[in-house]
Amino acid sequence: MKPILFKPLFISLIFSFSLLAFLTLQTSRRRLKPPAAAVSAGGDADLRIRSGYSSYDAYLHHQLNKTLNPKLRTIWKTRDWDRKVRVFSLFFTSLKERNLLSNNSKSLCIGARVGQEVAALKRVGVSDSIGIDLVPYPPLVIQGDFHSQPFDDENFEFEFSNVFDHALYPEKFVSEIERTLKPGGICVLHVSVSKRTDKYSANDLFSLEPLIKLFEKSEMIEERRIDGFGLDREVVFRKMVHSKNGRL
């Protein structure tokens, strides 16, 4: 009986490792060197990169260990689904009431996993919405690395993310948002300030100042405290039509 019982588990493990290898190959074609251990991003002590990554592949493997975890994915798609869609719907409704989001906003959710954020946008009437994550979840989420978004320049009016802390290269994370966001477009980030996040985070943020500095083509227009699944700040940026030096 044992071989019969273990066969499904064995097949599942083979499939998971095969998918892991395939995704790593696809997302790491353009090699990035890992930052030096414990070196702050941009020389700012209030944004610290966590140590322990020997290569970009090692970082991707670490992130995929969470994203591909079958128990977590089952929870995200079942027990957590309604709760998270409901809470995100409230966040997005608030943005609409503040004229920061509209039904006509072409929208992107960055690090969307199984797409609760995308489902919430569609629920509140923002139908042209998509998510990206290392692992796709059709039709709500396509495969993509937030350090190198798979989209053309100036493609979206609205971008949202609550995974800034997972960025190994925060400057690339932000520059890709600004590249794909249209002038006048809105970016909303949910972040944790001065509180260590989970073991899959790649950086720690101790004030909003280094985050604001990273947005070279945008201005921060709002900031407020929230209770967002362990994250405590909502920060809103608008991409400028003209940059701070007069050019965009």
Query: Is there a domain that residue 246 lies in?
Result: no
131 versus 39: the higher-pLDDT residue is 131
In a domain, 247, yes or no: no
The CA radius of gyration of the chain, in Å to the nearest whole number, is 18
What are the counts of helices (DSSP H) followed by strands (DSSP E) for the chain? 7, 9
Q: Is residue 212 part of a domain?
A: yes
Choose the most confident range, by mean pLDDT, from 3-12, 27-36, 143-152: 143-152
Distance from chain centroid for Cα 165: 8
Tell me the pTM: 0.84
In a domain, 20, yes or no: yes
Range of the domain at 131: 3-239
In a domain, 105, yes or no: yes
Report if residue 223 sits inside a domain.
Answer: yes
The pLDDT-based confidence of 33 (bands split at 50, 70, 90) is low
pLDDT band at 243 (very low <50, low <70, confident <90, very high): low
Structural domain contains residue 66: yes
- Residue 103 gets the label, from left (phi > 0), alpha (psi -120 to 50) or beta, of alpha
Return the structure tokens found at 88: 């995100």
**Residue-averaged pLDDT of the chain:** 86
Domain count, the chain: 1
**248 in a domain, yes or no?**
no
**pLDDT of the residue at 244:** 54
Q: Is the peptide bond before 3 cis (omega within 30 degrees of 0)?
A: no
Query: What's phi and psi for 227, nearest 5 deg?
Result: -120, 90
At residue 245, the pLDDT reads 54
Residues 152-189 as b or e (16 or more Cβ within 10 Å = b): eeeebbbbbbbbbbbbbbbbbbbbbbbbbbbeebbbbb
At 188-208, the pLDDT tens digits run 999 999 777 788 999 999 999
Average pLDDT over residues 130-140: 97
Mean pLDDT of 122-133: 98
The pLDDT tens digits for 108-118 are 999 999 999 99
User: Sign (positive/negative) of CA torsion 94, 99, 103, 109?
Assistant: negative
Q: Across residues 108-136, what is the average pLDDT?
A: 97
Measure the CA angle with vertex 156, ends 155 and 161; round to 5°.
125
Angle CA(134)–CA(136)–CA(142) in degrees, nearest 5?
Answer: 95
Q: Which of the two residues, 29 and 151, has the higher pLDDT score?
A: 151
Residue 6's Cβ-count burial label (10 Å; 0-12, 13-18, 19+) is exposed
With cut-offs at 50, 70 and 90, classify the pLDDT of residue 42: low
Give the pLDDT of residue 242. 67
> CATH code at 69?
3.40.50.150
**Residue range 44-77, pLDDT digits in tens:** 789 999 988 999 999 999 999 999 999 999 999 9
Cα(63)–Cα(45) distance, rounded to whole angstroms? 24
Residue type, 105: S
- Counting residues of the chain whose pLDDT is more than 90, the rounded percentage is 74
Q: β-strands 218-228, 156-161: how paired?
A: unpaired
CB-CB contact of 181 with 237 (8 Å): no
Task: Report the percentage of the chain scoring pLDDT > 70.
Answer: 80
Average pLDDT over residues 132-161: 98
